[in-house]
Amino acid sequence: MGWEGWFSLGVVGLVLGVLVWGRIAADVTIVGAVALLVFVDYLTGANILKTPQALSGMANQGMITVAIMYVVVCGLTDTGAVGWLGQRVLGKPRTLAGAQLRLMIPSAGLSAFMNNTPLVAMFIPVVSEWCAKNRISPSKLMMPLSYAAILGGTLTLIGTSTNLVVSGKWADSGRAPMGMFEIAKVGLPCALAGMLYLMTIGRRLLPERKAALDVGADPRSYTVEMTVDAGGPLVGKTIEQAGLRQLPGLFLAEIERDETVIAAVGPDEKLQGDDRLVFVGVVESIVDLRKIRGISPATNQVVKLNAPRPQRRLIEAVVSNTSPLIGKSVKEGRFRSVYNAVVIAVARNGERLKQKIGDIVLQPGDTLLLEAPRAFIEQNKNSRDFFLVSAVENSTPLRHEKAMLSLGILTGMILIATLQPLGLQMIHAAALGAGLMLLTRCCSATSARRSVDWMVLVVIASSLALGISLENTGAAHFIAHWMIALAGGNPFLTLAMVYLVTMLLTEMITNNAAAVLVFSIALSAADQLGADFKPFAMCIMMAASACFSTPIGYQTNLMVMSPGGYRFSDYPRVGLPLNLLMWFVTVPIAAWVWPLRPV
């Protein structure tokens, strides 16, 4: 290996160091490193990283698929299908370990048969919403989600593309093809051990990143009324079952039912159609409240708003002293016709307002929570009627009526991606799904555009370029050879080393590239020792998927990074023990199931 190899290894080492340090964003760091490699390549003329190679990651199908999946998921989120899925999958476990179990089993099971990326992309918003509702920090669940998907991928031959690549090379070498579930002999114990680890030790190691929101001493709390939809999914459920009991930053103050008022609402109170629920809470939680299927704002004024729903959002406005609204009730002031906005809730210095919204007499300094078209802000931001007008984030109303449609599109997409009819592949399925989500208006173009996490895409694309540079300069090859030579001819040690090398490389270059690279080296090593190659191939498959220690090793790790609020250093803390555990489990089992010396 020449100086180029050492140079690119050095750059990769530097990148990892900077990422662990955590002060510079991942995309800036990695793009900077790629720029450096390309520049040095240009200056010296050595084969380090050519411009087209550096760019090739931008047209990588995996990267584009991730991008398109964001749009599909956006459709699921905007229709509220995510919340529904969350209820079904996650339910209401009482403990964190229970929640992890209920999340990991289905995601590992599904990922055995489908691509990990859409699976994780789909679960991320489900988990976020569920965590917000149940006051659990999402950082406790996001990483287990990504890891479970990876573990599940090692259960079948079609679980991940790496398995297919290795079995393809296996068949090319003239051996009898591998069976669909052959890898499960090691994969299943590994998956079980991994999940056990995550639920016990891993649970302690996972950081507690975002404190769950709660009702503080005197927050700016709004009073808001919602009606239970007659014939909706919540009718007949208890408060507890409907998930209205432990909403963060919000409590159910009372229920009004046919002229009676139930003041202290118990968790077992059954909801009936047309119940008016009075909540008190901070603005973020009211945004969440509006995403629940089966309840809608009590004021019928919303229906009369003169703007299509996707263009509406929640806006906070403070009534000024000079406003013509002062001293009049919301109804008398004809708020909707004057401003084309509907008052959803009113906050007055933490006071709880007893009247119905329409009857509240406005005072200077009252903060109104409005549902209004986006243009309201432009029209009123300089108006003296309000002290301040401010949009509330992520508050576009959901399109619940399309929830089933978006789930249907998702199912169709998964079926196409799994069965691959007519030569359609994952990327086709994702593109069709995203197109349909937009065409059927499950999500708007604007929110689709906003939903794409460009930072993740840039990191995926540019870390592919880093991997190419390691291969170009022979650094990857060098590491593989050198480490296997360390085993000194002992078959079992060689097997362990093959696993270790694959695991190491897979954190830096793509899984498939790592598997392909080690495959040929391991094959010649096994031939020299006269050992059966099968355990080696199995170890390569297992190790190539086992990227737990860095976010950049595997795209789903990266995708959960910001929703979980993780730092780079969280990954080695939780993932490194898991990596070692997998190593200790896989190698002996592989050597035991497929004896190294053919009898």
Residues that bind another protein (CB under 8 A): 24-25, 27-28, 31-32, 35-36, 38-39, 42, 51-52, 55-61, 64, 216, 218-220, 282, 316-318, 320-322, 347, 349-350, 364-365, 367, 381-390, 423-425, 427-428, 431-432, 434-435, 438, 445, 448-449, 452, 454-455
Nearest to another protein of 172, 218 (CB atom): 218
CA Rg value for the chain = 28
Nearer Cβ to another protein, position 224 or 500? Answer: 224
- C-beta of 151 vs 368, nearer to another protein: 368
Phi/psi at 360 (nearest 5 deg)? -70, 125
What residues contact residue 47 under an 8 Å CB cut-off, 6+ apart? 4, 41, 472, 473
Smaller CB separation from another protein, 392 or 493 = 392
Nearer to another protein, 442 or 483 (CB): 442
Q: In this structure, are residues 149 and 111 in contact, taking their beta carbons and an 8 Å threshold? A: yes
Cα–Cα distances (Å) from 552 to 197, 234, 294, in that order, read 22, 42, 40
CB atoms within 10 A of CB 418: 15
**Least distance in Å: CB of 42 to another protein?**
5
Is residue 351 a contact partner of residue 366, using CB atoms and an 8 Å limit? no
SS3 558: helix
Three-state DSSP at 552 gives: coil
Judged by beta carbon, residue 201 or residue 392, the one nearer another protein is 392
In the complex, what is the shortest distance from the CB of residue 117 to another protein, in angstroms, rounded to a whole number?
15
Is there a contact between 509 and 467 (Cβ–Cβ < 8 Å)?
yes
Q: Give the nearest distance from C-beta 320 to another protein in angstroms.
A: 5
Q: Tally the C-alpha atoms within 13 A of residue 325's C-alpha that lie toward its C-beta.
A: 31
Nearer to another protein, 338 or 388 (CB): 388
CB atoms within 10 A of CB 370: 24
Within 10 angstroms of residue 81's Cβ, the number of other Cβ atoms is 29
Provide, rounded to whole angstroms, the least separation between the CB of residue 7 and another protein. Answer: 17
- Smallest separation (angstroms) from another protein to the CB of 161: 14
- What are the residue ranges of helices labelled H in 60-199? 61-78, 81-90, 96-111, 116-134, 142-153, 161-172, 184-199
Q: Minimal distance in Å, beta carbon 368 to another protein?
A: 10
User: Shortest distance, CB of residue 565 to another protein, whole angstroms?
Assistant: 13
Shortest distance, position 35 Cβ to another protein, whole Å: 5
- HEC assignment per residue over 193-244: HHHHHHHCHHHHHCCCCCCCCCCCCCCCCEEEEEEECCCCCCCCCECCCCCC
- Using the minimum distance from each CB to another protein, give the nearer residue, 252 or 317: 317
Shortest approach of another protein to residue 231 CB, angstroms?
35
Distant-in-sequence, close-in-space partners of 380: CB < 8 Å, separation ≥ 6: 317, 339, 386, 389
Interhelix angle 96-111/81-90, rounded to 10 degrees, is: 110
Residue with Cβ nearer another protein (67 or 206): 67
Minimum distance of another protein from residue 577's CB (angstroms): 31
- Minimum CB–partner distance for residue 325 and another protein (Å): 13
Residues 6+ apart with CB under 8 A from 459: 26, 27, 30, 552, 558
Residue type, 552: I
CB of 316 or CB of 471, closer to another protein: 316
Distance, CA of 274 to CA of 199 (rounded, Å): 42
Question: Residue 133 has which token pair?
Answer: 């509702």
Nearer CB in complex with another protein: 219/233: 219
Cβ burial, residue 335 (10 Å; 0-12/13-18/19+):
buried
Q: Considering the complex, state which of residue 195 and residue 317 has its C-beta at the smaller distance from another protein.
A: 317
Residues in the chain: 599
CB of 188 to another protein, least distance (A): 33
Indicate the residue among 29 and 146 with the shorter CB distance to another protein.
29
Shortest Å distance, C-beta 393 to another protein: 10
